[in-house]
Structures are given as structure tokens and as C-alpha cells.
């Protein structure tokens, strides 16, 4: 009986350890985005603020991979919806969640999956190639954000002018910064 118990324990523990590791990584990714969301610069001509979230989403997704990255961003959105002050500037609640930035929050989940998938295929291994998944992720965030913002503002043109154009230069800098930070993040993650 002792041998059977030992065998069951050895088979169950690696699964439990893997599940616990995934839970910790997904939670850490959500917390990472929440920290960078606190960097908020309101822009007077758009309901979308300038934040550090895009940088954090891209970097976390490259480190976590597709499934854990998407789960991490979904957890981030859920934490904010349940009232934790994780959204831009410490905002929270379902009213903020479904406000002007809802599309961007949905875009975080989809972009994390896309960036993670490209990273799993090896595109995050160097600074030069990691920019590709980060640009794809940024495009996905823009697409989802502008689609929802067009409903919120009443036209797609207004959504592009208020939700994409003002952020192009800053997000290019964030994508480059994420590519530069990736090697150090890999060392830290190990």
C-alpha cells in the first residue's frame, strides 16, 4: 500500500506543481499589467488615456505564451470588474470596464494570445525578431479598441482619430522598449 501511495503522490504532484506554477505566472502577469496601468496621462481630446498597459501586455504575453498570456489578461479584466483598482489610474468596476476603453481591454486578451503564440514559435528570442509579435499585438489592440470606441463615439473615423492616431508614436516606443526589455525579463523569469 505504501508503494501505491508513493506512486500516486509522485504522479499527482507534478501536475499540481504545474498547475500552481501556471496560477502564479498568470497572476503575476495580471499584476504586472495592473502596475503599469497606474501610469496614466489623460488626453483632453479623447476618452482613452495614455498608459503603460500596452508595454506590460506585450512583454507579459511574450513571457507567458499564448494560453497563460490570454488567461492573465482575462484575469486582469476580471479583477478590475470585481472592483480591484487595477485599471488605468486605479479605476475599477463594471461601469469602467464597459466604458470607452472596453475594446482595448478585450484587445489585451486577444493580443496576448497572438503575441504568446508568435513567441512560442520563436519570434521572441532576439530583440530584432521580437518586434514582430509586439507590432502584431499592438495592431490587435488598436483594432479591438477602435471597433468598440467607434460605437462609443459614433463613428469609426472619430475612433481612429481619438483612439489610434495619438498613440502611434508612443506605442512604437513601447513595442521597442518591450523588445529591449525581453532578454532581461527572460533572465528574471528563469
How large is the greatest C-alpha to C-alpha distance in the chain, in angstroms? 71
Q: Kindly report, residue by residue over 3-59, the tens digit of the pLDDT.
A: 655 555 556 566 666 788 899 999 999 999 999 999 999 999 999 999 999 999 999
CB 143 within 8 A of CB 134: no
Q: Compute the average pLDDT of residues 136-146.
A: 97
Number of H helices, E strands in the chain: 8, 2
What pLDDT shows up at residue 150? 96
Domains and CATH numbers, the chain: 24-189 (1.10.1760.20)
- 40 φ/ψ sector (left φ>0, alpha ψ -120 to 50, else beta): beta
Per mean pLDDT, which range of 34-38, 71-75, 93-97 is the poorest? 93-97
Q: Cβ atoms within 10 A of the Cβ of 128, count?
A: 9
Is the torsion defined by CA of 69, 72, 76, 77 positive or negative?
positive
For 15-125, where are the E strands, in sequence order?
A: 40-41, 50-51
**Residues belonging to the chain:** 190
Distance separating the N- and C-terminal Cα atoms of the chain? 38
Amino acid at each position: 500500500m505504501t508503494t501505491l501511495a508513493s506512486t500516486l503522490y509522485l504522479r499527482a504532484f507534478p501536475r499540481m506543481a504545474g498547475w500552481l506554477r501556471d496560477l502564479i505566472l498568470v497572476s503575476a502577469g495580471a499584476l504586472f499589467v495592473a502596475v503599469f496601468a497606474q501610469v496614466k496621462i489623460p488626453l483632453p481630446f479623447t476618452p482613452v488615456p495614455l498608459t503603460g498597459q500596452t508595454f506590460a501586455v506585450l512583454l507579459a504575453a511574450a513571457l507567458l505564451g499564448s494560453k497563460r498570456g490570454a488567461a492573465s489578461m482575462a484575469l486582469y479584466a476580471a479583477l478590475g470588474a470585481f472592483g480591484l483598482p487595477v485599471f488605468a489610474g486605479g479605476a475599477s468596476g463594471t461601469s469602467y470596464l464597459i466604458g470607452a476603453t472596453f475594446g482595448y481591454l478585450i484587445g489585451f486578451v486577444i493580443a496576448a494570445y497572438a503575441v504568446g503564440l508568435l513567441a512560442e514559435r520563436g519570434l521572441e528570442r532576439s530583440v530584432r525578431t521580437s518586434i514582430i509579435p509586439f507590432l502584431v499585438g499592438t495592431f490587435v489592440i488598436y483594432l479591438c479598441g477602435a471597433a468598440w470606441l467607434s460605437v462609443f463615439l459614433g463613428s469609426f473615423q472619430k475612433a481612429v482619430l481619438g483612439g489610434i492616431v495619438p498613440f502611434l508614436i508612443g506605442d512604437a516606443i513601447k513595442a521597442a522598449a518591450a523588445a529591449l526589455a525581453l532578454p532581461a525579463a527572460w533572465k528574471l523569469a528563469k
